[in-house]
Amino acid sequence: MNKFKQYILIAITLLSNISCDKFNEADEAEKTAPLEVSITVDIDVPNMASSEGLVVKVVNNAEGYSYKKEFTGEHVSVKDVIPGIYTISVSGTAKDTSGTEYYINGNSVNQALYDDIVNVKINLQGLKVSPLVFKEIYYCGSRPPVGFSYFRDQFYEIYNNSNEVQYLDGVYMAHLYPTNATRELPVWPEADANKYCYGERVWKFPGTGKDYPLQPGESAVVAQFAANHKLEIYNPNSPVDCSHAEFEFNMNNANFPDQPAIDMVHVYNNGKAEMGSAPQYLTPVFGSAYAIFRVPADEKWDPVNDMSLQADDLSTSDEEHKARIPIKYILDAVEAVNDDSYTDAKRIPAVLDAGVTTVGSIYCSLAVARKVSLTDDGEIMRRSNGAIIFQDTNNSTEDFERGVVPEPHRYGTGVPFWNATY
């Protein structure tokens, strides 16, 4: 090859490399050039006064990008957003024209943001601020000296976070479907249109109306099995003594006999009122979604006898019927997942819980506990009677401490006078 041809070949090669580099740079510039995201909201709450004060978060967990801005009207723009796949969430509290306060939440998951200006509309739902909340949940179980697992020591604590007496009588408690966190979400009948959550099993607090009051600052522990689990016959490695629990889920198992705690009333399981053949009421040690709710006095809710209150997951062929629970009934809901890798596997609507919580493992003897509310000076917020006010933004990611040693009536929260085990 003569020198002239060699020069031509070298020149072509250099130009090709330069061109490729330029194209790559242009391509990268197109991918990474910041953009503006325009967000509007549609709030499904009658007579909502304004969306002012709601907070929007635009989060790319994979790349570690996060943006936050407050609404000043019905619309907000978030600028300088790096293109990618985002979860856009809107949350906060707002009042309707009558002064009733609501938690407002909604999100759009796996939203692709690549255009110069992206318009996103988020449908928001509202949940009335609840006087009754889950204060602590111990679901993961513990490891016995011999063997792998012990799960009889699960418990759930309900707290009166308001400034008025609340009655547990007739309040329902359910764990929601899907039982475990999953990215393959169920498919519900189109007519349901985000009006419901779906109960796997439902219980109810007993009482005729005013039998079980909780004063401000008092709580009630509902144990799977209300025994002292530290005893040798159970699991001396268990972190809890549930022998003073106010209530228990008694399943009439002779090996785990009925304890002095008051029995919860079984309401629903797979279309029936009967408990079924399970030897215990166990929620997943990986974490479930839990809800407490109250049916308004002028409405009837009977999913056993009213087939319109049953629903099937259309994505499966099984015939297990879930209970339709109107979202407007919900007082509080908490979603727990396996670990932090499941934060994108939410299975209940954001209006019920905008986040998730976790202890990150199974049989690790740890719980999740609601955080106390603090003043700007770092002091615990209390009501006039000294009752602690617990944080409740309707977002379990923010509201719960993770991986704490379980402790019924933590912080010395009040024990109701009708607990006869003390």
Mean pLDDT of 56-71: 90
pLDDT at 7 over 50: no
How far CA 9 is from CA of 3, 5, 14, 23, 266, in Å, comes to 10, 6, 9, 21, 83
Rounded to whole angstroms, the Cα distance separating 221 from 343 reads 27
CB atoms within 10 A of CB 318: 8
What distances in angstroms separate CA 133 from CA 32, 195, 371, one per listed residue? Answer: 43, 21, 12
Per-residue pLDDT averaged across 351-361, rounded?
Answer: 95
* 221 DSSP assignment: E
What's the CATH number for 32-128?
Answer: 2.60.40.10
DSSP 237: T
Distances (CA, A) of 389 to 9, 253, 381: 77, 38, 6
Whole-structure pTM value = 0.76
Domain residue limits, the chain: 32-128, 130-422
Q: Residue 23 contacts by C-beta under 8 Å, 6 or more apart in sequence? A: none
**pLDDT, averaged across the chain:** 88
Q: What is the CA radius of gyration of the chain?
A: 26
Q: Is residue 27 pLDDT above 50, yes or no?
A: no
Q: What is the pLDDT of residues 66-121, one digit of tens each?
A: 999 998 877 899 999 999 999 898 887 788 887 777 778 888 888 899 877 688 98
| DSSP string of 368-384, one letter each residue | EEEPBPB-TTSPBPB-T
Residue range 165-195, pLDDT digits in tens: 999 999 999 999 999 999 889 999 999 988 9
Q: How far apart are CA 178 and CA 365, in angstroms?
A: 24
Secondary structure letter of residue 4 according to DSSP: H
Return the exposure string of 18-53: e unless at least 16 CB atoms fall within 10 Å of the residue's CB, then b.
eeeeeeeeeeeeeeeeebebebebebbbeebeebee
CA angle at residue 134 from 131 to 140, to 5 degrees? 175
Give the count of beta carbons closer than 10 Å to the beta carbon of residue 280. Answer: 15
Two tokens at 232? 């040798």
Residues 6+ apart with CB under 8 A from 164: 131, 216
Alpha-carbon gap, residue 22 to 168, rounded angstroms: 68
β-strands 213-214, 219-223: how paired? Answer: unpaired
The dihedral built from the CA positions of residue 158, 163, 166 and 172, taken in this order, carries a sign that is negative
Given pLDDT bands bounded at 50, 70 and 90, which one contains residue 292?
very high
Decide if 393 contacts 191 (C-beta within 8 A).
no
- Residue 386 CB burial class (10 angstroms; 0-12, 13-18, ≥19): exposed
CA-CA distance, 163 to 185, in Å (whole number)?
A: 38
pLDDT tens digits for 144-171?
A: 999 999 999 999 999 999 888 999 999 9
- Is the model more confident about 238 or about 124? 238
DSSP conformation class of 253: B
Task: Note the pLDDT tens digit of each residue in 310-328.
Answer: 999 999 888 899 999 999 9
Identify the pLDDT of residue 72: 81
**14-24 pLDDT tens trace:** 444 444 444 34
